[in-house]
Structure 1
Amino acid sequence: MRVSGDQRSGAVRAWLYLVAALVVAMVAVGGATRLTGSGLSITEWRPVTGIVPPLSEADWATEFAKYKDTPQYNILNQGMGLSSFKVLYGWEWGHRLLGRLIGLVFFLPLVVFWWRGMISRRLGLGLLGLGILGGLQGAIGWIMVASGLQPGMTAVAPLKLALHLTMASLILAGLVWLAAGERNGTIEPAPGRIRAVATLLPALVLVQIFLGGLVAGSHAGLVYNTWPSMDGDLVPPMDSLFAIRPWIENFVDNHALVQFDHRVTAYLIVVVALLHAVDARLTGPAGAAGRAGGVAVLALAQAALGIATLLLTVPLWAALAHQVLAMAVLTMAAVHARLSRGTERVRPAAREPALGFEGLVGRGA
């Protein structure tokens, strides 16, 4: 049965958005894993056999004994019972299981779509790049966990946590970018200035997500819980911002500078998003104006939630909501950036050649 161009694009687009939704879920579970202190409960990286959790009391005792050898247990959780350990283990196991599920949901349909000739060359290259990033993300995740198992450590290294979160966010942005490009119908490109700022916004959001990862990893949100000042200063004194030597380490380890950077970048994103929304409303087209307005609204909501999270001293629900809303801002910004470049429906016969089994056989013949 022949697959029409519209059906082909619709199926591929739905699949990409499904994978993107799973990535958002992965980020949320990862945030809960971090906030509950569960990320170091599994001390080994077993990509295949690790899918099976402990099934007997002897298995649980073995896993618990491994955890008791970690600095986190000996420094923070001395005397923890097996039932409490099972809760920690469950969060981390669920996080890793979701990562494996994303891999299956990504690669199995990809093979089917490729076999049926539903993946164009350009889309195929993009998906190949995302597949490589996904594999790299798994490795970064284990490097991050291993950093928290070093002597004297009770949590993962902030820089590695920020890299892990940013890589997941980059994969999400790539998925929705490709999905938006599969949209049916014709969308005229936006004016050059609108396109440029629309492309800048997701890049700024990715930078902000990285900075948020540093705040989370260093627990910088637990200090300076006032706004708009930081304990009385709009700009903390330089001897506070750069108290650590060498000075470069302040950008990762200094709570004052880490939080200040996150605040300033949030202000920048809100200002750019609002000005961009006004510009798009004045210059059009209507679709770009609507999308730009959506980015601005989400950016404002995210800033407000960030302030509330800080003032409340980072409760679990607010921190998770802040992390998930960041993914919403990034998704909207990435879709807006892609559609601002314009799309055009092309008849299937004239469409770019697809990467499929039949096409390869025909080419070889």
Structure 2
Amino acid sequence: MRLSTTAGREPGAAGDTARNPVRIWLYLVAALVVAMVAVGGATRLTGSGLSITEWRPVTGVMPPLSAADWAAEFEKYRGTPQYQILNQGLGLADFKVLYFWEWGHRLLGRVLGLVFFLPLAVFWWRGMLSRRLGLGLLGLGLLGGLQGAIGWIMVASGLKPGMTAVAPLKLALHLTTASLILAGLVWLAAGERRGRLAPAPGSVRAMAVALPVLVLVQIFLGGLVAGSHAGLVYNTWPTMNGALVPPASELFAVRPWIENFVDNLALVQLNHRLTAYLIVLLAVVHAVHARLSTPVGAAGRAAGIAVLALAQMGLGIATLLLAVPLWAGLAHQVLAMGVLVMATVHARLSLGLGQGAPAAPSGAEPAFGFEGFAGSGI
């Protein structure tokens, strides 16, 4: 079996062009993840997430097709606490709207799985993936499977007696895991860029890497805000009902105190606000620093992140002041994905690409494919 060497050739070599389809595919999958997050946000904001009471990975791909099927699904929903406490009297026509949001979200998840794993198998078989890239993609595939399980655990938390919505912590984990998958895809795709790119200075690199980490933390905190409906209280800015910071007696009113970080609406919203300020401050400082010490490309990316972060904060403030209308809440969630994508690409490129002498064909990294496995002993 021959050992594929496409991963180590000079930029512009014939073998290097094979990386373009992989890079395009990675960005396509990333776009589908953003779409998945958007539909998931709409599902949450419309209160549709508990309309399907079973997890059927295979047979659930088909929605109800007959009147009897719809009646059976509606009867299952009528047995949930959400219907009995919040939605009594909901008609079948309105139930169908809820159902199709959740069904569309799950269907998109299945499509996303196919778009990820089928080309992955083809690229693997043809030896078009380096070992490092292949292992990274398998890790993301496993994380995607875990994400599906987290999604069902989240839904199951809202079907328990007395519950009318999913648990905020589980929603935050579900959203953050999706964001991790998105960041991983974009990171790998950016690493497939052809050509040489010098690393940014050390301080610029440090801030560039810190930004996507902070954005992920903020997305988690945003998930807590969404899950606990903390955006429906303290609908003033820059104060929280007249105070820049509510008193400690209000922020830590829940016992035990650790639960305030998830269940106390005042503290949940305050943490989300403070992290937003920190991200904007770091993004602006980073943009100025990069402008003074790095080439145009890195400085331009840093400036783009600062603009996106400021826009995201402005949209978040508008969403809060308007008490979270559907359009604003959904736009705020999608723009967060845009900030994460931009910050992740910038962090990856700030580390440099193609540095050092290119490997000769005999010393190239083995491809992550059938031939690469056979030749490398893996």
- Please give the per-residue CA displacement for 1:293-316, whole angstroms capped at 9, x wherever unaligned: 111110000000000000111110
Q: Is the 8 A contact 2:51 2:77 kept in 1?
A: yes
Structure 1 equivalent of residue 142 of structure 2 = 132
Whether 1:357 and 2:370 are equivalent positions in the alignment is: yes
Distance of 2:312 and 2:372 partners within structure 1: 46
The SS at the match of 2:312 is helix
Whether 1:197 and 2:207 are equivalent positions in the alignment is: yes
Q: 2:293 aligns with which of 283, 289, 294?
A: 283
Structure 2 equivalent of residue 71 of structure 1 = 81
The SS at the match of 2:159 is coil
Q: Is the 8 A contact 1:117 1:354 kept in 2?
A: yes
Q: Is the 8 A contact 1:19 1:106 kept in 2?
A: yes
Shift of 1:9: 1.4
Pairing 1:1-365 to 2, within 5 Å after superposition: 4-344=14-354, 346=358, 349=361, 351-361=364-374
State, as a whole percentage, how many aligned pairs show the same letter: 78
- Please give the per-residue CA displacement for 1:8-29, whole angstroms capped at 9, x wherever unaligned: 2111000000000000000000
Shift of 1:362: 5.0
Give the unaligned 5+ runs of structure 1.
none
Distance of 1:275 and 1:184 partners within structure 2: 29
Shift of 1:351: 3.8
The SS at the match of 2:18 is helix
The SS at the match of 1:44 is coil
Distance of 1:360 and 1:248 partners within structure 2: 48
- Please give the per-residue CA displacement for 1:255-289, whole angstroms capped at 9, x wherever unaligned: 10000000000000000000011110001122211
Shift of 1:363: 5.7
Q: Is the 8 A contact 2:287 2:306 kept in 1?
A: yes
Q: Is the 8 A contact 2:130 2:368 kept in 1?
A: yes
The SS at the match of 1:236 is coil
Distance of 1:310 and 1:348 partners within structure 2: 57
Q: Is the 8 A contact 2:366 2:376 kept in 1?
A: no
Distance of 1:208 and 1:300 partners within structure 2: 14
Q: Is the 8 A contact 2:176 2:216 kept in 1?
A: yes
Q: Is the 8 A contact 1:5 1:348 kept in 2?
A: no
Shift of 1:164: 0.2
Distance of 1:288 and 1:119 partners within structure 2: 27
- Please give the per-residue CA displacement for 1:297-347, whole angstroms capped at 9, x wherever unaligned: 100000000000001111100000000000000000000000000011857
For residue 117 of structure 2, what is the amino acid of its counterpart? Answer: F
- Please give the per-residue CA displacement for 1:192-230, whole angstroms capped at 9, x wherever unaligned: 111111111000000000000000000000010000000
The SS at the match of 1:244 is coil
1:192–1:260 Cα change, 3 Å: same
Shift of 1:73: 0.4
Shift of 1:358: 2.9
Distance of 2:182 and 2:24 partners within structure 1: 14
Q: Is the 8 A contact 2:43 2:49 kept in 1?
A: yes
Distance of 1:248 and 1:21 partners within structure 2: 36
For residue 66 of structure 1, what is the amino acid of its counterpart? Answer: K
- Please give the per-residue CA displacement for 1:70-100, whole angstroms capped at 9, x wherever unaligned: 0000011111111111100000000000001
- Please give the per-residue CA displacement for 1:160-212, whole angstroms capped at 9, x wherever unaligned: 00000000000000000000000011110011111111111000000000000
State the superposition RMSD in angstroms: 1.4
The SS at the match of 1:190 is coil
Distance of 2:203 and 2:81 partners within structure 1: 52
Q: Is the 8 A contact 1:181 1:338 kept in 2?
A: yes
Q: Is the 8 A contact 1:5 1:347 kept in 2?
A: no
Q: Is the 8 A contact 2:51 2:95 kept in 1?
A: yes
Distance of 2:161 and 2:17 partners within structure 1: 55
Shift of 1:361: 4.4
Distance of 2:360 and 2:125 partners within structure 1: 17
For residue 43 of structure 1, what is the amino acid of its counterpart? Answer: T
Structure 1 equivalent of residue 9 of structure 2 = none
Give the unaligned 5+ runs of structure 2.
7-13
Shift of 1:348: 8.2
Shift of 1:356: 1.7
Distance of 2:376 and 2:151 partners within structure 1: 41
